[in-house]
């Protein structure tokens, strides 16, 4: 039980990081980036390659993989999402990012094959005792990394000029552009940032789970559940929902069975949405005109 709770909080932090990118992208661009799941796996494979071929430590490797995924994100936004029309934007964005998902999945399958991979480092294999529970170091390091990056994200959003533009665009794209915010540029950079966080998320995911390209499907559906549960576009909501959901899942996994834990995970969304259609922390629809 205690193991479940601690485990849930630690992994919840990592999911919170990945989900915050997704919800940030939605908030600014009205785009649901289904590709987020495969970006995470891409990040994990990149970390693997750097470690296996060049002996670069997983955490050090992030200095390469985070910028790499930032560039991938910008490229995707520039090449595809920018061209979407306002009408049916959300639906179209899902389809476009899903196509990106499929292409990357295919490429990863060809490059790495379909066997399961795992990331290796001393902190993955060694454990430490915490509150009477044995945990691999990676869970703690991963949580700290996620917390650090989320804090950095917070600073960028709330303490910089760029962050003010992002928040303005989240409130109202048209109004933001009227007061001189370059919404296009903000969107591109936001998509880059939202994607870049998956590099860190992917490294930790890869170190705590065995994965192949197919894992992205399970991952993205979880991230979507978290984001919707937290209220689309609400970063705080995504954080809370991520931790809450992972704690519930891990506790159920410990006290009942891992299989049903996943069912509970998805059913929780169904239950919450049937009571509160806007999610736990979502804003009510804006006041009617």
Q: Which residues bind another protein (CB under 8 A)?
A: 32, 80, 83-85, 88, 90-92, 94-96, 98-103, 105-107, 109-110, 217-218, 221, 224-225, 227-228, 232, 259-260, 262-263, 266-267, 269-270, 273-274, 277-279, 285, 287-289
The whole-angstrom distance between residue 227's C-alpha and the CA centroid of its chain comes to: 9
Q: CB–CB of 43/65 below 8 Å?
A: yes
CB of 257 to another protein, least distance (A): 9
CB of 232 to another protein, least distance (A): 7
Query: Which of 42/181 has CB closer to another protein?
Result: 42
CB of 277 to another protein, least distance (A): 4
Tell which phi-psi region holds residue 279, choosing left (phi > 0), alpha (psi between -120 and 50) or beta: left
Integer Cα distance of 21 and 13 in angstroms: 13
Integer Cα distance of 181 and 173 in angstroms: 9
Query: Which of 98/154 has CB closer to another protein?
Result: 98
Query: Which of 53/287 has CB closer to another protein?
Result: 287
CB of 133 to another protein, least distance (A): 27
The whole-angstrom distance between residue 70's C-alpha and the CA centroid of its chain comes to: 13
Query: Which of 177/221 has CB closer to another protein?
Result: 221
Q: CB–CB of 142/10 below 8 Å?
A: yes
Q: CB–CB of 47/202 below 8 Å?
A: yes
CB of 166 to another protein, least distance (A): 20
How many CA atoms does the CB half-sphere of 225 hold within 13 Å? Answer: 24
Query: Which of 216/243 has CB closer to another protein?
Result: 216
Q: Give me the helices (H) in the chain, please.
A: 2-29, 36-54, 58-79, 89-112, 122-125, 137-159, 161-171, 173-178, 183-208, 215-230, 235-255, 258-275
Integer Cα distance of 143 and 228 in angstroms: 22
Query: Which of 174/274 has CB closer to another protein?
Result: 274
Query: Which of 102/156 has CB closer to another protein?
Result: 102
Integer Cα distance of 44 and 201 in angstroms: 8
CB of 244 to another protein, least distance (A): 15
CB of 102 to another protein, least distance (A): 3
CB of 289 to another protein, least distance (A): 6
The sign one gets for the Cα dihedral 257, 123, 72, 195 is positive
Q: CB–CB of 211/109 below 8 Å?
A: no
Query: Which of 22/145 has CB closer to another protein?
Result: 22
The three-state secondary structure class of 130 is strand
């Amino acid at each position: 039980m205690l193991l479940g709770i601690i485990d849930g909080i630690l992994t919840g932090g990592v999911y919170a990081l990945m989900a915050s990118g997704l919800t940030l992208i939605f908030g600014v661009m009205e785009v649901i980036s289904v590709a987020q799941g495969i970006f995470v796996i891409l990040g994990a494979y990149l970390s693997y390659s750097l470690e296996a071929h060049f002996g670069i430590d997983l955490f050090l490797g992030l200095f390469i993989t985070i910028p790499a995924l930032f560039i991938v994100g910008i490229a995707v936004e520039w090449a595809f999402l920018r061209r979407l029309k306002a009408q049916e934007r959300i639906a179209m964005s899902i389809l476009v990012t899903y196509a990106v998902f499929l292409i990357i999945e295919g490429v990863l399958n060809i490059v790495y094959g379909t066997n399961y991979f795992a990331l290796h480092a001393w902190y993955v294999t060694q454990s430490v005792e915490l509150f009477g529970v044995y945990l691999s170091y990676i869970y703690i390091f991963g949580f700290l990394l996620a917390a650090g990056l989320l804090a950095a994200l917070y600073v960028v959003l709330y303490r910089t000029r760029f962050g003010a533009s992002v928040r303005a665009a989240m409130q109202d794209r048209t109004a933001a552009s009227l007061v001189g915010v370059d919404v296009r540029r903000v969107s591109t950079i936001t998509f880059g940032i939202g994607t870049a966080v998956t590099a860190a998320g992917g490294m930790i995911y890869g170190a705590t789970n065995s994965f192949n390209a197919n894992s992205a499907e399970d991952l993205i559906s979880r991230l979507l559940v978290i984001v919707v549960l937290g209220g689309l576009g609400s970063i705080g909501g995504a954080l809370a929902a991520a931790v809450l959901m992972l704690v519930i899942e891990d506790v159920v996994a410990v006290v009942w069975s891992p299989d049903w834990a996943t069912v509970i995970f998805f059913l929780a969304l169904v239950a919450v949405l049937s009571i509160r259609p806007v999610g736990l922390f979502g804003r009510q629809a804006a006041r009617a005109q």
